[in-house]
Structure 1
């Protein structure tokens, strides 16, 4: 049953599989949605196919890489949000990233630089008395540098560090900042990768942890991934070097 709220969530990178599930779950809680993405046609189709309440959803064009457009995008929002989720992400495999800087640059721009650009604007708008929470989607790849994915992981590590500092910056305004540190998710960004199916999470399961985020900074869905996260944090470098 939907709760009666007058709150709005802004989802940046709303075309991701996890973000789409967030749209469904926030609607169920009575939120209004501003869904922002480069691919607005895909969002239109998603809303139509799933018979979602279009009166509660505003779809806007947002390009994480077009930094110069971010101030205008935020200024023209129909309402200033209560919750902001940065779900935009881009991944190329490590081998390609090491040989093709364009792929590396795009990961940097979408996973980190674009996030900092728009979230700085959101965070520094002290006139927005609605703002309650900012949530960024990171990755377990950010915890330790491993030879199979350290280029991608480094962009997510930078984003996680940024969010940690932003949390401190906004604490005096009682704005909560969370980071979702997830393992393998069954999403289009991971298509073609050989992943352990026993560890694979579904987008709706991950979205549930986002929508129900509490006060703790780090959110790690699934007890298996919590254990892996803790092990990665404490492993000595000599053992991390032996991981794939």
Structure 2
């Protein structure tokens, strides 16, 4: 049997596949093992995006994909460590496809009293929530050869709106991240790349497990993920009208009132 036609047929279908991959929009989710990020993965796939899910915990992502019967032709899992800054350039260079959309969802939290006494924990929050984000997003934003880049979304927190005695260490990392994204938005404006920040309140996630939170204010991960998928052109996105009210109270209150808050 002549194998030559089979060879050319294989090349033909490979070209079709690569062509489809190049025309399909790609989302890179950094810190994809977070509960919100996992919900975003499902929503992006349902909307026809190709998703690159990047995290340190590959096994958890593989289990998540199996449990939710995700089509493995529509996403891939990559190892990414937000705190290993020296690996970030290599990670980006090795991506199979450069992204249209980037979501930074990595996060780490310890309680404030522990953070005051344990600098290792504080430094871990700094590295995960801010320094690692700046490291990888600088690399992505500086790649002017990626003409497809159209949006960068960062997940921040209302804890970063004002310094409060109950969470100012964690809040400072989120405040710094928000300010970085604000400047990055200005930097990328000439390239028509949109930068958004989700300023998020309490979510029913593993990062908040064990904390005493107001149940009337807790949001579910899938609810927050919808705001990621449907991000528009506004810089700050605040899921839930209750949290919008809290945001403006924090933003506009004089310091003597903020000082009385927990």
Normalising by the residue count of structure 2, what TM-score does the alignment of the two structures yield?
A: 0.91
CA shift, 1:82, in A, is 0.2
Is the counterpart of residue 66 in structure 1 residue 84 in structure 2?
yes
Is the counterpart of residue 28 in structure 1 residue 72 in structure 2?
no
Normalising by the residue count of structure 1, what TM-score does the alignment of the two structures yield?
A: 0.98
CA shift, 1:106, in A, is 0.2
Is the counterpart of residue 209 in structure 1 residue 223 in structure 2?
no
Give the secondary structure class of the aligned counterpart of 1:54: coil
Q: Which runs of 5+ in 1 are unaligned?
A: none
User: Alignment length, in residue pairs?
Assistant: 240
CA shift, 1:58, in A, is 0.7
1:160 aligns with 178
RMSD: 0.5
Is the counterpart of residue 77 in structure 1 residue 95 in structure 2?
yes
Q: What CA deviation, in whole Å up to 9, does each residue of 1:75-131 have, x standing for no partner?
A: 000000000000000000000000010000000000000000000000000000010
**2:137 aligns with one of 105, 115, 119:** 119
2:24 aligns with 6
CA shift, 1:69, in A, is 0.2
Q: State the alpha-carbon separation in 1 of the partners of residues 138 and 57 from structure 2.
A: 23
1:46 aligns with 64
CA shift, 1:184, in A, is 0.2
Q: How does 1:177-192 map to 2 (within 5 A)?
A: 177-192=195-210
Give the secondary structure class of the aligned counterpart of 2:210: coil
**2:245 aligns with one of 227, 231, 243:** 227
CA shift, 1:56, in A, is 0.6
Q: State the alpha-carbon separation in 1 of the partners of residues 235 and 158 from structure 2.
A: 15
